[in-house]
Protein backbone atom coordinates (compact mmCIF):
# COMPACT_ATOMS: atom_id res chain seq x y z
CA UNK A 1 0.00 0.00 0.00
CA UNK A 2 2.84 2.40 0.86
CA UNK A 3 4.27 1.95 -2.63
CA UNK A 4 1.05 3.28 -4.16
CA UNK A 5 1.12 6.58 -2.24
CA UNK A 6 3.64 8.35 -4.54
CA UNK A 7 1.50 7.65 -7.59
CA UNK A 8 -1.61 9.06 -5.92
CA UNK A 9 0.03 12.46 -6.22
CA UNK A 10 -0.03 12.02 -10.00
CA UNK A 11 -3.85 11.96 -10.10
CA UNK A 12 -4.12 15.79 -10.47
CA UNK A 13 -1.44 15.75 -13.19
CA UNK A 14 -3.29 12.98 -15.04
CA UNK A 15 -6.53 14.93 -14.79
CA UNK A 16 -4.81 18.03 -16.18
CA UNK A 17 -3.41 15.91 -19.01
CA UNK A 18 -6.95 14.80 -19.90
CA UNK A 19 -8.11 18.43 -19.80
CA UNK A 20 -5.27 19.33 -22.17
CA UNK A 21 -6.54 16.78 -24.69
CA UNK A 22 -10.02 18.33 -24.58
CA UNK A 23 -8.64 21.89 -24.67
CA UNK A 24 -6.39 21.44 -27.71
CA UNK A 25 -9.06 22.86 -30.01
CA UNK A 26 -9.44 26.05 -27.97
CA UNK A 27 -8.30 29.14 -29.89
CA UNK A 28 -6.67 31.80 -27.73
CA UNK A 29 -7.20 35.47 -28.68
CA UNK A 30 -4.28 37.84 -29.24
CA UNK A 31 -1.97 35.10 -30.49
CA UNK A 32 1.13 37.34 -30.51
CA UNK A 33 1.12 37.84 -26.73
CA UNK A 34 3.49 36.13 -24.31
CA UNK A 35 0.60 34.43 -22.46
CA UNK A 36 -0.33 32.49 -25.60
CA UNK A 37 3.11 31.12 -26.44
CA UNK A 38 5.07 28.03 -25.44
CA UNK A 39 4.45 25.98 -22.34
CA UNK A 40 2.45 28.74 -20.69
CA UNK A 41 0.21 28.96 -23.74
CA UNK A 42 -0.70 25.26 -23.41
CA UNK A 43 -1.99 25.85 -19.89
CA UNK A 44 -3.70 29.06 -21.00
CA UNK A 45 -5.68 26.90 -23.43
CA UNK A 46 -6.76 24.70 -20.51
CA UNK A 47 -7.69 27.85 -18.59
CA UNK A 48 -9.88 29.09 -21.45
CA UNK A 49 -11.52 25.67 -21.70
CA UNK A 50 -12.42 25.73 -17.99
CA UNK A 51 -13.55 29.37 -18.11
CA UNK A 52 -16.03 28.70 -20.89
CA UNK A 53 -17.50 25.61 -19.26
CA UNK A 54 -17.53 26.26 -15.49
CA UNK A 55 -20.14 28.84 -14.42
CA UNK A 56 -18.15 29.86 -11.32
CA UNK A 57 -15.50 31.68 -13.35
CA UNK A 58 -18.11 33.72 -15.20
CA UNK A 59 -19.95 35.21 -12.20
CA UNK A 60 -21.56 38.36 -13.50
CA UNK A 61 -20.92 40.75 -10.59
CA UNK A 62 -17.17 40.39 -10.51
CA UNK A 63 -16.92 39.76 -14.22
CA UNK A 64 -18.48 43.14 -15.09
CA UNK A 65 -15.94 45.04 -12.98
CA UNK A 66 -12.98 43.09 -14.35
CA UNK A 67 -14.22 43.57 -17.91
CA UNK A 68 -14.46 47.32 -17.31
CA UNK A 69 -10.92 47.43 -15.92
CA UNK A 70 -9.56 45.41 -18.82
CA UNK A 71 -11.36 47.74 -21.23
CA UNK A 72 -9.29 50.71 -20.13
CA UNK A 73 -5.99 48.80 -19.91
CA UNK A 74 -6.17 46.56 -22.98
CA UNK A 75 -6.95 48.84 -25.91
CA UNK A 76 -5.37 46.84 -28.71
CA UNK A 77 -7.90 44.01 -28.51
CA UNK A 78 -11.64 43.84 -28.07
CA UNK A 79 -13.06 43.77 -24.55
CA UNK A 80 -14.25 40.19 -25.02
CA UNK A 81 -10.82 39.00 -26.22
CA UNK A 82 -9.13 40.83 -23.36
CA UNK A 83 -11.50 39.19 -20.87
CA UNK A 84 -10.97 35.71 -22.32
CA UNK A 85 -7.20 36.11 -22.39
CA UNK A 86 -7.13 37.42 -18.81
CA UNK A 87 -9.12 34.52 -17.38
CA UNK A 88 -7.33 31.97 -19.58
CA UNK A 89 -3.93 33.09 -18.28
CA UNK A 90 -5.15 33.46 -14.69
CA UNK A 91 -6.67 29.98 -14.53
CA UNK A 92 -3.85 28.52 -16.64
CA UNK A 93 -1.11 29.69 -14.27
CA UNK A 94 -2.97 28.16 -11.31
CA UNK A 95 -3.40 24.86 -13.22
CA UNK A 96 0.29 24.92 -14.20
CA UNK A 97 1.31 25.23 -10.54
CA UNK A 98 -1.00 22.35 -9.58
CA UNK A 99 0.49 20.22 -12.37
CA UNK A 100 4.06 21.03 -11.28
CA UNK A 101 3.18 20.37 -7.64
CA UNK A 102 1.64 17.01 -8.53
CA UNK A 103 4.73 15.85 -10.43
CA UNK A 104 7.19 17.19 -7.84
CA UNK A 105 5.24 15.63 -4.97
CA UNK A 106 5.34 12.26 -6.73
CA UNK A 107 9.10 12.50 -7.31
CA UNK A 108 9.77 13.56 -3.71
CA UNK A 109 7.59 10.75 -2.39
CA UNK A 110 9.33 8.15 -4.58
CA UNK A 111 12.75 9.46 -3.55
CA UNK A 112 11.79 9.38 0.14
CA UNK A 113 10.88 5.72 -0.15
CA UNK A 114 14.16 4.64 -1.69
CA UNK A 115 15.78 2.91 1.30
CA UNK A 116 19.51 3.17 0.64
CA UNK A 117 20.39 3.08 4.34
CA UNK A 118 20.07 -0.62 5.11
CA UNK A 119 21.20 -3.08 2.47
CA UNK A 120 21.32 -6.84 3.14
CA UNK A 121 20.86 -6.22 6.85
CA UNK A 122 23.82 -3.83 7.15
CA UNK A 123 24.56 -0.08 7.20
CA UNK A 124 27.37 1.31 5.07
CA UNK A 125 30.21 2.85 7.05
CA UNK A 126 31.91 6.11 5.98
CA UNK A 127 35.45 5.78 4.72
CA UNK A 128 38.55 6.87 6.64
CA UNK A 129 38.43 10.47 7.85
CA UNK A 130 34.84 10.99 6.69
CA UNK A 131 33.29 11.21 10.17
CA UNK A 132 30.54 9.32 11.98
CA UNK A 133 27.37 8.37 10.15
CA UNK A 134 24.10 8.81 12.02
CA UNK A 135 20.89 7.23 10.79
CA UNK A 136 17.38 6.83 12.14
CA UNK A 137 16.32 3.21 11.70
CA UNK A 138 13.02 1.40 11.99
CA UNK A 139 13.02 -2.14 13.35
CA UNK A 140 10.00 -4.43 13.55
CA UNK A 141 9.40 -8.01 14.57
CA UNK A 142 9.35 -10.47 11.70
CA UNK A 143 6.47 -12.39 13.27
CA UNK A 144 4.54 -9.40 14.61
CA UNK A 145 3.62 -6.58 12.21
CA UNK A 146 2.26 -4.42 15.04
CA UNK A 147 5.68 -4.16 16.72
CA UNK A 148 7.65 -1.33 15.14
CA UNK A 149 10.08 1.12 16.76
CA UNK A 150 12.52 3.83 15.76
CA UNK A 151 16.05 4.25 17.02
CA UNK A 152 18.99 6.46 16.13
CA UNK A 153 22.27 4.71 15.49
CA UNK A 154 25.77 6.19 15.14
CA UNK A 155 28.14 4.29 12.86
CA UNK A 156 31.72 5.39 13.28
CA UNK A 157 34.01 5.94 10.33
CA UNK A 158 36.51 3.34 9.20
CA UNK A 159 39.61 3.80 11.33
CA UNK A 160 43.27 3.39 10.65
CA UNK A 161 44.89 0.74 12.79
CA UNK A 162 48.32 2.42 12.89
CA UNK A 163 49.86 5.87 13.21
CA UNK A 164 47.71 8.80 14.42
CA UNK A 165 48.39 12.49 14.85
CA UNK A 166 50.42 14.67 17.20
CA UNK A 167 49.74 17.44 19.68
CA UNK A 168 50.96 19.12 22.86
CA UNK A 169 50.03 16.68 25.58
CA UNK A 170 49.83 19.18 28.41
CA UNK A 171 47.51 21.58 26.57
CA UNK A 172 45.09 18.84 25.57
CA UNK A 173 45.11 17.38 29.09
CA UNK A 174 43.82 20.67 30.55
CA UNK A 175 40.77 20.57 28.29
CA UNK A 176 40.06 16.86 28.46
CA UNK A 177 37.94 16.77 31.72
CA UNK A 178 35.40 19.27 30.37
CA UNK A 179 35.32 17.48 27.01
CA UNK A 180 34.53 14.01 28.36
CA UNK A 181 32.05 15.28 30.98
CA UNK A 182 29.35 15.54 28.31
CA UNK A 183 26.03 16.56 29.86
CA UNK A 184 27.47 16.29 33.38
CA UNK A 185 28.57 19.46 35.17
CA UNK A 186 31.81 17.84 36.31
CA UNK A 187 33.45 14.46 36.82
CA UNK A 188 32.63 14.68 40.54
CA UNK A 189 28.99 13.80 39.80
CA UNK A 190 28.42 11.72 36.67
CA UNK A 191 24.84 10.64 36.04
CA UNK A 192 24.84 10.41 32.27
CA UNK A 193 27.19 8.83 29.76
CA UNK A 194 30.67 10.22 29.37
CA UNK A 195 32.15 11.19 26.04
CA UNK A 196 35.32 9.14 25.93
CA UNK A 197 36.57 10.80 22.79
CA UNK A 198 39.12 9.15 20.57
CA UNK A 199 40.26 12.47 19.13
CA UNK A 200 39.91 16.14 20.08
CA UNK A 201 39.13 18.84 17.57
CA UNK A 202 42.24 20.77 16.69
CA UNK A 203 44.53 18.17 18.24
CA UNK A 204 45.84 15.55 15.79
CA UNK A 205 46.53 12.71 18.19
CA UNK A 206 44.80 9.47 19.15
CA UNK A 207 43.36 8.93 22.62
CA UNK A 208 42.87 5.52 24.16
CA UNK A 209 41.21 4.85 27.48
CA UNK A 210 41.90 2.56 30.40
CA UNK A 211 38.97 2.19 32.80
CA UNK A 212 39.56 1.16 36.39
CA UNK A 213 36.25 -0.71 36.63
CA UNK A 214 34.62 -1.92 33.41
CA UNK A 215 31.60 -3.11 35.35
CA UNK A 216 30.70 0.54 36.02
CA UNK A 217 31.68 2.19 32.76
CA UNK A 218 31.92 0.78 29.28
CA UNK A 219 34.92 1.54 27.13
CA UNK A 220 32.89 3.91 24.99
CA UNK A 221 31.71 5.95 27.99
CA UNK A 222 28.33 4.33 28.50
CA UNK A 223 27.38 3.88 32.15
CA UNK A 224 26.80 0.25 33.15
CA UNK A 225 23.71 1.22 35.16
CA UNK A 226 23.01 -2.31 36.38
CA UNK A 227 26.22 -2.39 38.43
CA UNK A 228 26.34 1.15 39.82
CA UNK A 229 25.36 1.24 43.52
CA UNK A 230 22.74 3.69 44.70
CA UNK A 231 25.25 5.70 46.76
CA UNK A 232 27.56 5.95 43.73
CA UNK A 233 31.08 4.74 43.17
CA UNK A 234 34.49 6.14 42.29
CA UNK A 235 36.51 4.79 39.39
CA UNK A 236 39.76 5.89 37.78
CA UNK A 237 39.97 6.79 34.11
CA UNK A 238 43.33 6.77 32.40
CA UNK A 239 43.67 8.65 29.13
CA UNK A 240 46.60 7.63 26.96
CA UNK A 241 47.68 10.15 24.32
CA UNK A 242 49.67 8.58 21.50
CA UNK A 243 52.00 10.13 18.96
CA UNK A 244 54.24 7.72 17.14
CA UNK A 245 56.47 6.20 19.85
CA UNK A 246 55.67 8.84 22.47
CA UNK A 247 52.93 8.38 25.05
CA UNK A 248 51.58 10.43 27.92
CA UNK A 249 48.99 9.36 30.48
CA UNK A 250 46.50 11.38 32.51
CA UNK A 251 44.51 9.94 35.40
CA UNK A 252 41.01 11.29 36.04
CA UNK A 253 38.94 10.24 39.11
CA UNK A 254 35.24 9.90 38.24
CA UNK A 255 32.33 9.63 40.72
CA UNK A 256 29.45 7.82 38.94
CA UNK A 257 25.81 7.62 40.08
CA UNK A 258 22.97 5.54 38.61
CA UNK A 259 20.57 7.48 36.33
CA UNK A 260 16.81 7.06 36.51
CA UNK A 261 15.31 5.68 33.28
CA UNK A 262 11.75 5.02 32.17
CA UNK A 263 10.79 1.64 30.76
CA UNK A 264 10.99 3.02 27.22
CA UNK A 265 14.42 4.51 27.88
CA UNK A 266 15.64 1.21 29.31
CA UNK A 267 14.50 -0.55 26.15
CA UNK A 268 16.29 1.98 23.97
CA UNK A 269 19.43 1.75 26.09
CA UNK A 270 19.46 -2.00 25.60
CA UNK A 271 19.07 -1.60 21.87
CA UNK A 272 21.82 1.01 21.78
CA UNK A 273 24.14 -1.36 23.62
CA UNK A 274 23.50 -4.09 21.10
CA UNK A 275 24.13 -1.69 18.23
CA UNK A 276 27.31 -0.40 19.81
CA UNK A 277 28.55 -3.95 20.28
CA UNK A 278 27.81 -4.66 16.65
CA UNK A 279 29.60 -1.43 15.70
CA UNK A 280 32.73 -2.29 17.69
CA UNK A 281 32.81 -5.84 16.39
CA UNK A 282 32.96 -4.62 12.78
CA UNK A 283 34.72 -1.26 13.10
CA UNK A 284 37.42 -2.20 10.54
CA UNK A 285 34.87 -3.45 8.02
CA UNK A 286 32.92 -1.52 5.41
CA UNK A 287 29.53 -2.39 6.94
CA UNK A 288 28.09 -2.74 10.42
CA UNK A 289 25.98 -5.88 10.71
CA UNK A 290 22.69 -5.19 12.49
CA UNK A 291 21.38 -7.70 15.06
CA UNK A 292 18.60 -9.81 13.57
CA UNK A 293 17.52 -11.68 16.72
CA UNK A 294 17.04 -9.92 20.08
CA UNK A 295 15.70 -11.68 23.17
CA UNK A 296 14.47 -14.62 21.14
CA UNK A 297 12.52 -12.41 18.71
CA UNK A 298 13.44 -11.70 15.10
CA UNK A 299 13.55 -8.09 13.90
CA UNK A 300 13.58 -6.48 10.46
CA UNK A 301 15.56 -3.24 9.98
CA UNK A 302 14.92 -0.46 7.49
CA UNK A 303 15.79 3.22 7.14
CA UNK A 304 13.20 5.72 8.38
CA UNK A 305 11.16 7.16 5.51
CA UNK A 306 10.66 10.90 5.55
CA UNK A 307 8.02 11.78 2.97
CA UNK A 308 7.42 15.53 2.66
CA UNK A 309 5.58 15.19 -0.64
CA UNK A 310 2.17 15.89 0.92
CA UNK A 311 3.37 19.14 2.50
CA UNK A 312 5.03 20.17 -0.76
CA UNK A 313 1.87 19.50 -2.73
CA UNK A 314 -0.26 21.37 -0.18
CA UNK A 315 2.06 24.40 -0.34
CA UNK A 316 1.91 24.46 -4.12
CA UNK A 317 -1.89 24.21 -4.03
CA UNK A 318 -1.92 27.23 -1.70
CA UNK A 319 0.44 29.02 -4.08
CA UNK A 320 -1.85 28.24 -7.02
CA UNK A 321 -4.85 29.63 -5.13
CA UNK A 322 -2.78 32.68 -4.18
CA UNK A 323 -1.79 33.30 -7.79
CA UNK A 324 -5.42 33.05 -8.86
CA UNK A 325 -6.52 35.61 -6.23
CA UNK A 326 -3.54 37.94 -6.69
CA UNK A 327 -4.19 38.14 -10.41
CA UNK A 328 -7.30 40.23 -9.66
CA UNK A 329 -5.36 42.27 -7.11
CA UNK A 330 -2.72 42.98 -9.73
CA UNK A 331 -5.38 44.12 -12.18
CA UNK A 332 -6.89 46.44 -9.57
CA UNK A 333 -3.44 47.86 -8.81
CA UNK A 334 -2.80 48.57 -12.47
CA UNK A 335 -6.15 50.35 -12.73
CA UNK A 336 -5.36 52.48 -9.65
CA UNK A 337 -1.97 53.39 -11.08
CA UNK A 338 -3.65 54.38 -14.35
CA UNK A 339 -6.17 56.56 -12.53
CA UNK A 340 -3.42 58.25 -10.51
CA UNK A 341 -1.39 58.90 -13.66
CA UNK A 342 -4.41 60.37 -15.48
CA UNK A 343 -5.16 62.61 -12.50
CA UNK A 344 -1.53 63.75 -12.36
CA UNK A 345 -1.43 64.60 -16.10
CA UNK A 346 -4.75 66.44 -16.09
CA UNK A 347 -3.55 69.96 -15.02
CA UNK A 348 -0.84 70.01 -17.69
CA UNK A 349 -3.28 68.75 -20.32
CA UNK A 350 -5.83 71.48 -19.54
CA UNK A 351 -3.07 74.12 -19.60
CA UNK A 352 -1.90 72.96 -23.03
CA UNK A 353 -5.47 72.86 -24.30
CA UNK A 354 -6.11 76.42 -23.05
CA UNK A 355 -2.83 77.67 -24.56
CA UNK A 356 -3.47 76.19 -28.01
CA UNK A 357 -7.13 77.29 -28.09
CA UNK A 358 -6.02 80.78 -27.13
CA UNK A 359 -3.62 80.70 -30.10
CA UNK A 360 -6.55 80.07 -32.45
CA UNK A 361 -6.49 76.29 -32.89
CA UNK A 362 -9.66 74.17 -32.73
CA UNK A 363 -10.19 71.47 -30.13
CA UNK A 364 -9.91 68.80 -32.81
CA UNK A 365 -6.56 70.20 -34.02
CA UNK A 366 -5.28 70.44 -30.45
CA UNK A 367 -6.13 66.78 -29.84
CA UNK A 368 -4.43 65.84 -33.09
CA UNK A 369 -1.28 67.84 -32.31
CA UNK A 370 -0.91 66.45 -28.79
CA UNK A 371 -1.47 62.90 -30.04
CA UNK A 372 1.03 63.41 -32.88
CA UNK A 373 3.70 64.83 -30.56
CA UNK A 374 3.22 61.85 -28.25
CA UNK A 375 3.55 59.38 -31.14
CA UNK A 376 6.82 61.07 -32.11
CA UNK A 377 8.17 60.77 -28.57
CA UNK A 378 7.25 57.08 -28.50
CA UNK A 379 9.18 56.48 -31.74
CA UNK A 380 12.23 58.15 -30.21
CA UNK A 381 12.05 55.77 -27.25
CA UNK A 382 9.92 57.79 -24.83
CA UNK A 383 7.72 56.18 -22.20
CA UNK A 384 4.01 55.50 -22.55
CA UNK A 385 1.30 57.68 -20.94
CA UNK A 386 -2.30 56.61 -20.57
CA UNK A 387 -3.67 60.13 -21.24
CA UNK A 388 -2.02 60.49 -24.65
CA UNK A 389 -2.90 56.89 -25.56
CA UNK A 390 -6.53 57.87 -25.02
CA UNK A 391 -6.02 61.07 -27.00
CA UNK A 392 -4.68 59.04 -29.91
CA UNK A 393 -7.68 56.75 -29.68
CA UNK A 394 -10.06 59.75 -29.74
CA UNK A 395 -8.27 61.20 -32.79
CA UNK A 396 -8.56 57.83 -34.57
CA UNK A 397 -12.30 57.75 -33.85
CA UNK A 398 -12.77 61.24 -35.28
CA UNK A 399 -10.75 60.36 -38.38
CA UNK A 400 -12.79 57.20 -38.86
CA UNK A 401 -16.07 59.15 -39.01
CA UNK A 402 -17.20 59.36 -35.36
CA UNK A 403 -18.54 62.80 -34.47
CA UNK A 404 -16.36 65.03 -32.33
CA UNK A 405 -18.95 65.18 -29.54
CA UNK A 406 -19.21 61.39 -29.38
CA UNK A 407 -15.41 61.03 -29.54
CA UNK A 408 -15.00 63.44 -26.59
CA UNK A 409 -17.68 61.57 -24.60
CA UNK A 410 -15.93 58.27 -25.32
CA UNK A 411 -12.62 59.85 -24.27
CA UNK A 412 -14.09 60.98 -20.92
CA UNK A 413 -15.76 57.58 -20.35
CA UNK A 414 -12.49 55.73 -20.90
CA UNK A 415 -10.61 58.06 -18.55
CA UNK A 416 -13.20 57.29 -15.82
CA UNK A 417 -12.52 60.51 -13.91
CA UNK A 418 -14.81 63.36 -12.89
CA UNK A 419 -12.19 65.83 -14.04
CA UNK A 420 -12.13 64.53 -17.62
CA UNK A 421 -15.93 64.20 -17.67
CA UNK A 422 -16.22 67.85 -16.58
CA UNK A 423 -13.75 68.98 -19.23
CA UNK A 424 -15.33 67.01 -22.06
CA UNK A 425 -18.76 68.34 -21.04
CA UNK A 426 -17.43 71.86 -21.68
CA UNK A 427 -16.01 70.77 -25.04
CA UNK A 428 -19.22 69.07 -26.24
CA UNK A 429 -21.35 72.02 -25.12
CA UNK A 430 -19.06 74.29 -27.10
CA UNK A 431 -19.59 72.12 -30.20
CA UNK A 432 -23.39 71.86 -29.88
CA UNK A 433 -24.39 75.31 -28.59
CA UNK A 434 -21.30 77.43 -28.95
CA UNK A 435 -19.70 79.01 -25.95
CA UNK A 436 -17.85 82.30 -26.29
CA UNK A 437 -16.55 81.96 -22.76
CA UNK A 438 -14.85 78.59 -23.34
CA UNK A 439 -11.37 80.03 -22.83
CA UNK A 440 -12.38 81.64 -19.54
CA UNK A 441 -13.98 78.43 -18.33
CA UNK A 442 -10.89 76.45 -19.33
CA UNK A 443 -8.64 78.88 -17.43
CA UNK A 444 -10.83 78.40 -14.36
CA UNK A 445 -10.71 74.64 -14.90
CA UNK A 446 -6.92 74.81 -15.14
CA UNK A 447 -6.70 76.71 -11.87
CA UNK A 448 -9.10 74.28 -10.23
CA UNK A 449 -7.06 71.31 -11.52
CA UNK A 450 -3.89 72.77 -10.01
CA UNK A 451 -5.65 73.24 -6.66
CA UNK A 452 -6.87 69.64 -6.72
CA UNK A 453 -3.37 68.47 -7.55
CA UNK A 454 -1.98 70.36 -4.55
CA UNK A 455 -4.65 68.75 -2.36
CA UNK A 456 -3.61 65.30 -3.58
CA UNK A 457 0.05 66.03 -2.93
CA UNK A 458 -0.78 67.29 0.56
CA UNK A 459 -2.84 64.17 1.26
CA UNK A 460 -0.01 61.89 0.11
CA UNK A 461 2.37 63.76 2.40
CA UNK A 462 0.06 63.16 5.34
CA UNK A 463 -0.22 59.47 4.46
CA UNK A 464 3.57 59.20 4.23
CA UNK A 465 3.88 60.82 7.65
CA UNK A 466 1.41 58.31 9.09
CA UNK A 467 3.37 55.38 7.63
CA UNK A 468 6.59 56.73 9.17
CA UNK A 469 5.01 56.98 12.61
CA UNK A 470 5.63 53.33 13.56
CA UNK A 471 9.34 53.30 12.55
CA UNK A 472 9.85 56.56 14.44
CA UNK A 473 8.26 55.06 17.55
CA UNK A 474 10.50 51.99 17.28
CA UNK A 475 13.55 54.23 16.94
CA UNK A 476 12.42 56.16 20.04
CA UNK A 477 12.15 52.90 22.02
CA UNK A 478 15.64 51.84 20.90
CA UNK A 479 17.12 55.20 21.89
CA UNK A 480 15.41 55.05 25.30
CA UNK A 481 16.77 51.53 25.90
CA UNK A 482 20.27 52.63 24.89
CA UNK A 483 20.08 55.50 27.40
CA UNK A 484 18.30 53.79 30.30
CA UNK A 485 20.08 50.41 30.39
CA UNK A 486 23.58 51.85 31.04
CA UNK A 487 22.04 54.17 33.63
CA UNK A 488 20.47 51.28 35.54
CA UNK A 489 23.63 49.17 35.28
CA UNK A 490 25.71 51.96 36.77
CA UNK A 491 23.50 52.19 39.89
Query: Does 345 or 117 have the greater pLDDT score?
Result: 345
Query: Do 133 and 212 meet the contact criterion of CB atoms below 8 Å apart?
Result: no
Q: What's the confidence (pLDDT) of residue 183?
A: 83
Average pLDDT over residues 358-369: 86
pTM score of the predicted model? 0.48
Q: Give domain status of residue 355, yes or no.
A: no
pLDDT of 162 strictly over 50: no
Distance separating alpha carbons of residues 318 and 332, to the nearest angstrom: 21
Q: Are residues 163 and 292 in the same domain?
A: yes
For 15, counting Cβ atoms within 10 Å of its Cβ (0-12 exposed, 13-18 middle, 19+ buried), the class is: middle
Give whole-number Cα distances, 75 to 70, 410, 450, in Å.
8, 13, 29
Residue 79 has pLDDT above 80, yes or no: no
> Is the same domain home to 369 and 276?
no
Q: 3-class DSSP state for residue 54?
A: coil
- Does 111 score more than 50 pLDDT? yes
Q: In the chain, how many domains are there?
A: 3
Q: Would you place residue 2 in the very low, low, confident or very high pLDDT band (cuts 50, 70, 90)?
A: low
Quote the pLDDT of residue 164.
Answer: 44
Say if 191 falls within a structural domain.
yes
The answer to whether position 206 is within a domain reads yes
Q: Residue 182 — very low, low, confident or very high, per pLDDT cuts 50/70/90?
A: confident
Q: Per mean pLDDT, which range of 55-64, 210-219, 481-490 is the poorest?
A: 55-64
Per-residue pLDDT tens over the stretch 295-313 = 677 878 877 777 788 888 8
Q: How far is CA 430 from CA 253, 358, 406, 442, in A?
A: 109, 15, 13, 11
Q: What pLDDT was estimated at residue 16?
A: 87
Q: Where are the alpha helices (DSSP H) in 117-190?
A: 169-180
Range from 114-123, 256-265, 356-365 that averages highest in pLDDT: 356-365
Q: Which of 77, 112, 147 is the last residue of a domain?
A: 112
Percent of the chain past pLDDT 90, that is, above it, reads: 0
258 plus 194 within the same structural domain? yes
Highest mean pLDDT among 23-32, 38-47, 243-252, 413-422: 413-422
Whether residues 294 and 366 fall in one domain:
no
- pLDDT band for 10, please (50, 70, 90 cuts): confident
Helix (H) or strand (E) holding 28: none
Contact yes or no for 30/8 (Cβ under 8 A): no
Distance from chain centroid for Cα 386: 35
CB 385 within 8 A of CB 374: yes
Same domain for 38 and 134:
no
Backbone angles phi, psi at 338, to 5 degrees: -65, -45
Q: What pLDDT sits at residue 334?
A: 86
Same domain, residue pair 90 and 192:
no
- Helix H or strand E segment including 48: helix 38-53
> Within this chain, do residues 70 and 152 fall inside the same structural domain, yes or no?
no
pLDDT per residue as tens digits for the range 282-299? 888 888 888 887 767 787
Position 330 scores a pLDDT of: 85
Average pLDDT over residues 111-123: 68
DSSP state of 305: P
**Per DSSP, what are the bridge partners of residue 138?**
150, 302
Name the nearest CA neighbour of 87 among 37, 140, 43, 117: 43
CA diameter of the chain: 118
The pLDDT, as a whole number, for residue 298 is 80
Give 163's pLDDT tier (boundaries 50, 70, 90). very low
pLDDT at 167 over 60: no
Domain that holds residue 107: 2-112
∠ CA 112-116-121, nearest 5°, is: 130
Q: Return the pLDDT at 76.
A: 61
Helices H / strands E in the chain, number of each: 13, 10
- In this structure, the answer to whether residues 126 and 240 fall within a common structural domain is yes
Q: Are residues 169 and 188 in the same domain?
A: yes
Helices (H), 238-308: 263-281
Whether residues 377 and 282 share a domain: the answer is no
Which residue would you say has higher pLDDT here, 30 or 23? 23
User: Residue 202's pLDDT is what?
Assistant: 63
Provide the mean pLDDT of the chain: 79
Secondary structure of 136-153 as H, E, C letters: EEEEEECCEEEEEEEEEE
Pairwise CA distance, residues 314 & 337, whole Å: 34
Per-residue pLDDT at 467 exceeds 60: yes
Q: Could you give the C-alpha distances from 411 to 134, 141, 365, 390, in angstroms and in order?
A: 73, 81, 15, 6
3-state secondary structure 190-251: ECCCCCCCCCECCECCEEEEEECCCCCECCCCCECHHHCCCCCEEEEEEEEEEECCEEEEEE
Which helix (H) or strand (E) covers residue 255, if one does?
A: strand 246-256
Confidence at 160, pLDDT banded by 50, 70, 90: very low
Amino acid sequence: MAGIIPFLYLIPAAGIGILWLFARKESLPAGDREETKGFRGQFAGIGLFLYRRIPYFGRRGRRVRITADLGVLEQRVSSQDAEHLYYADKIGVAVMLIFAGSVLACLVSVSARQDHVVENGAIGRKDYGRGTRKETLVYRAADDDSFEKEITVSVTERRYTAEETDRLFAEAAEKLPSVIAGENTSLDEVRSDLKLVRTMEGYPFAISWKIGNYSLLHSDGKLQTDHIPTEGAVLMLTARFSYLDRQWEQELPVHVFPPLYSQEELWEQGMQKLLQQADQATEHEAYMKLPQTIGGSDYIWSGKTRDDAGLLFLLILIAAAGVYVMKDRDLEKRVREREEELAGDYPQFVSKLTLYLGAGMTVRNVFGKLAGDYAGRRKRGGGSQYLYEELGRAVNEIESGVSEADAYEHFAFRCRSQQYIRLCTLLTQNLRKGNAELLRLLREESKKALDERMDRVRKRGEEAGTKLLLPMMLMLVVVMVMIMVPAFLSI
